[in-house]
Amino acid sequence: MSVNLATMLREGTKKSHTMAENVGFVKCFLKGVVEKNSYRTLVANLYYVYSAMEEEMEKLRQHPIISKIYFPQLNRKHSLEQDLNYYYGANWRNEIKLSQAGEAYVNRIREIAANRPELLVAHSYTRYLGDLSGGQILKKIAQRAMNLNEGGTAFYEFAEISDEKAFKNEFRQAMNDLPVDEATAQQIVDEANDAFKMNMKLFQELEGNLIMAIGRMLYNTLTRRRTAGSTELATSES
């Protein structure tokens, strides 16, 4: 028995998707306000999340459900390693650490892999389809906002996928062909909504640093303006 899981996921996560886009960190990012330290911390957390997910999916590649949506060409671990080397340097493994929200996210992935592996479909959907859908736009925003010339955006690049639109259609069809009943499909949708919440918590952890960075930028801008104004006044009086 199969259900239209792709449609169920799209319709069933609309509210979560909108909520995620309205988290302060994401709203600032989409407007081109990106603070490099916050961003590299996010990259570090994503490294742990994707490493856990891809490790578990590799273990389950023969599973009757996971095998149908197991596409190694989607894997992000290696690209995230490239980005971490860019932001932290060659010693990045000793520089990064998992945050509280990141740890909860990783633990959930490990838990369902051990007990309810079919729910990994939800995490594959929320992460990879999102990466494919908005990757190029986010890449350009990151490059422009952080003045990146070469490097730092490997996460958004899918070298092994030549036609992203066609691949997304293939991925959705694979989900629709999964041998799951209506009840299991709904549980996958519920897990996808939880995945959005876990992702939002990753963003929310970063908002404090981002607010401070914006405050510093505003302070520096105002200071420059005051200094320029004082200089102009002194020049006019002399």
Task: Please choose, from the candidates 74, 52, 68, the residue with its C-alpha nearest in 3D space to the C-alpha of residue 195.
Answer: 52
Rounded to 5°, the CA angle 110-114-117 comes to 95
Question: Tokens 């958004």 identify what position?
Answer: 156
In terms of Cα–Cα distance, which of 154, 146, 141, 161 is closest to 77?
A: 154
Rounded Cα–Cα distance for residues 155 and 161 (Å): 13
Residue 20, token pair as written in the block: 């995620």
Residue-wise pLDDT tens digits, 27-70 = 888 888 888 899 999 999 999 999 999 999 999 999 999 999 99
pLDDT digits (tens, 9 = 90+) for 134-163: 888 889 999 999 999 889 999 999 999 999
For the chain, give the percent of residues with pLDDT over 70: 86
Please say whether the beta carbons of 156 and 139 come within 8 A.
yes
The answer to whether residue 234 scores a pLDDT higher than 90 is no
Q: pTM of this prediction?
A: 0.87
The percent of residues above 90 in pLDDT, for the chain, comes to: 73
Largest CA distance in the chain: 87
Question: Once rounded to an integer, what is the mean pLDDT over residues 204-226?
Answer: 59
| Cα dihedral sign, 62-64-66-71 | positive
**CATH architecture entry for 5-208:** Up-down Bundle (1.20)
Q: Quote the pLDDT of residue 3.
A: 85
Burial grade of 9 (CB within 10 A; 0-12, 13-18, 19 or more): buried
| Residue 24 pLDDT class (50, 70, 90 cuts) | confident
Amino acid at 99: S
Per-residue confidence band for 18, with pLDDT thresholds at 50, 70 and 90: very high
> For the chain, what are the domain ranges?
5-208
What are φ and ψ of residue 180, in 5° steps? -125, 150
What does each C-alpha distance from 134 to 62, 124, 128, 129, 227 come to in angstroms? 30, 15, 10, 9, 41
CA 94 to chain CA mean position, Å: 22
Q: Tell me how many degrees the CA angle 172-104-201 measures, rounded to the nearest 5.
A: 75
89 to each of 83, 102, 142, 213, how far by Cα in Å?
9, 22, 19, 22
pLDDT of 219 reads 44
24 Cβ partners below 8 Å, 6+ apart? 203, 204, 207, 210, 211
| pLDDT tens digit sequence for 171-181 | 999 999 999 99
